[in-house]
Amino acid sequence: MNLEGLNNEQLKAVKHNNGPLLILAGAGSGKTKVLTMRVANLINEYNVKPSEILAITFTNKAANEMKERIHNVLGSVADNVRICTFHSFGLFILRREYEYIGYERNFTIIDSEDSLTLIKKILKELDKDANVYNPRAIRSKISGAKNELIDAKKYSLFANTEFEKVVEEVYIKYEEKLRLGNSFDFDDLLIAPIKIFRENKEVLEKYQNTFKYILIDEYQDTNEAQYILTKMIASKYRNICVVGDPDQSIYSFRGSNYRNILNFEKDYKEASIIVLEKNYRSTSNILNAANDIIKNNKNRKEKNLWTENGTGKKITYHRAENEKDEAYYVVKEIKKLDCPLSDIAVLYRTNAQSRNIEEALLRENIPFKVVGSFYFYNRKEIKDLIAYLKVIYNEKDDINLLRIINVPKRKIGLKTIENLTDIASLKGISIYDAIESGKELEFKKLIEELKVEKDNLSLTELVELVLEKSGMKASLLEEKTMESEIRLENLEEFKSITRGFEEKYGVVSLEEFLSEISLVSDVEEYKNNDSVVTLLTVHSAKGLEFKNVFIIGLEEGIFPHKNSFDSTQDMEEERRLCYVAVTRAKNNLWLINAKKRILYGTESSNPESRFIKEIDENYLNIDETVKTSPSKIFNSSNMIDDTITYTLGEKVKHAIYGIGVIVGIDDKILTIAFPYPHEIKKIMKGHKSTTKLN
């Protein structure tokens, strides 16, 4: 096997054979390459069976990238290596061992929105005001408890406040309803396998003997449940290789614990440790600045990134007068760059900061996208269709049944639904089983018909039948609005997903398909192939790289965030977040802030971020350009005609996005719905990129 191109430390990591291995991989140090080659080397040089290797990543994107790379090295042999996310691995176990926790084979998985719906329903049953007891906060508490392996019974030990006591009540009922509905939530995909393993040693041993070699990427982002699950499987053979960087641990808000990687040597005292410090992404100036920032953290493993990419340009630092000037400065600098727009990213600490940048880019007709704002699987019509498929597969899934029992409208009122819910609750049965008469019985018969057909039709044929028989398609056709057209296009796009699935895997069961789409992240996976400027939070930027990066809002109270001031631990996470932001840049980096800013409706004067002060001035080029008024920059392009009037529902044509309908109007901005994949866009009133059609 060709191992050329690997540096000495990478080579050591690849050639390591048995026993625990910790790879501390700095940003841009080629860790994916190392993981890939390590898997290939275990198979080629040490005769490890591909089926004995388990490689776990955090995202579907990372898993697919690793599969592709290993396939390029090994060919079809690679198909027998299990490469997956934590949650898909959990589902893999549950599909085989569901009986051990009293579930039926046709269980379904509810997503975060369905979970929220269920919590709201429970609050209503408990006569608790959702305005007082925030359902999202309750869901977050339950999710946090599950990820710390605290079940509903144990939660009472932590319920000290009135709010936590309500959470406890909701948590108990929530678990009861999930079980009654033969359903799991996303967190259960990790919790349930651990429960099975703890109560059935023979099942645990089966998986220990199956997966003798375990590799885990981004180990610094693991939570308690992920840590325990992999530790249990690795405990017999101890051939566990973890890769990560404690300096890039930025997800404590969702339960990740960077100490898992810091404590790896305590868990595995015989562990080998390899540090990857050579960076293949950035210039020396950028890396030196990143090193300067992160060395101020106490809780970390010592490492110092370096590169052979050359010194590069100094980092530009600009202090603007206010948030508007900050945005205009960014756009002015973007216009100077001679590169594809896809090479440019603007990073910020919080989503609210994007608005001024968006407006400035709109004024100059520079195309952009905001990462994570709209997501195909979260669109109403798609969720409705998936709900139909889930109920066809598992009629006891009350959450999804309630979502579609009156979609499209079939005269089943709230009173009827409440009565059904009460009967089901009283008898301890599913809502489906409680249906005996009326319009709801017609719905039940429809589901029965579709259940019969699910094994006789292809996946795409079943989807088509659901759309026809349910009345969804007819209802949208009848509506004859731009929005309904867009929804129909989205439903057609769903069929292209099922066709693609069938082309890839051949004959596919409904079970397999639902399992696959249940594992799709709640945030659309980023694709950097559009010729647009990318706007995103630093959290969303993790794992990405761009030739040109602008980091805005580098002020005390914004970045670092004001919520981090009272805790050393929180401030260290903010510093790690800044380190991640800086190391996204390959060639050029701008650090920008404002003397004054209006954010969340409040004006403030913030000192420059401590992270700026931590960088040696030798790496900085301070740009003290006098501000240019917005009117001088932007009106010179003569792109705005402020005499045009608009009305809601009016059709317009955009030079890039095609024909859309106006769904919102405010002082200066039109909100326009365009067909998939463009969806909702905000365009300046009177901008010459957009013309009226009626």
Q: Which of 83, 24, 557, 94 is nearest to 246 (CA)?
A: 24
CB 536 within 8 A of CB 373: no
Burial of 132 (0-12, 13-18, 19+ CB in 10 A): exposed
CA–CA distances in Å: residue 431 to residues 389, 417, 448, 470, 537: 17, 9, 14, 19, 42
Q: CA 547, CA 27: separation in Å to the nearest integer?
A: 15
Q: Which of 343, 245, 356 is nearest to 301 (CA)?
A: 245
Q: Give the contacts of 220 (CB within 8 A, at least 6 positions apart).
A: 244, 245, 246, 248, 249, 256, 258, 260, 261
CB 284 within 8 A of CB 307: yes
Residue 238 zone, left/alpha/beta (φ > 0; ψ -120 to 50; rest): left
CA–CA distances in Å: residue 229 to residues 193, 214, 253, 271, 298: 8, 12, 20, 19, 29
Q: Which of 274, 259, 271, 199 is nearest to 234 (CA)?
A: 271
Q: Which of 152, 187, 283, 193 is nearest to 588 (CA)?
A: 283
Look-up of token digits 């309500």: 166
Q: Which residues are catalytic?
A: 31-32, 217-218, 248, 584
CB 254 within 8 A of CB 281: no
Number of residues written out for the chain = 694
Structural tokens at position 404: 């579609």
Q: Give the contacts of 369 (CB within 8 A, at least 6 positions apart).
A: 530, 532, 533, 534, 535
Q: CA 513, CA 509: separation in Å to the nearest integer?
A: 6
Q: CA 31, CA 13: separation in Å to the nearest integer?
A: 10
* Residue 558 DSSP label: B
Q: CA 3, CA 46: separation in Å to the nearest integer?
A: 15
Q: CA 388, CA 92: separation in Å to the nearest integer?
A: 23
Q: CA 262, CA 493: separation in Å to the nearest integer?
A: 45
Bridge partners, 83 (sequence order)? 55
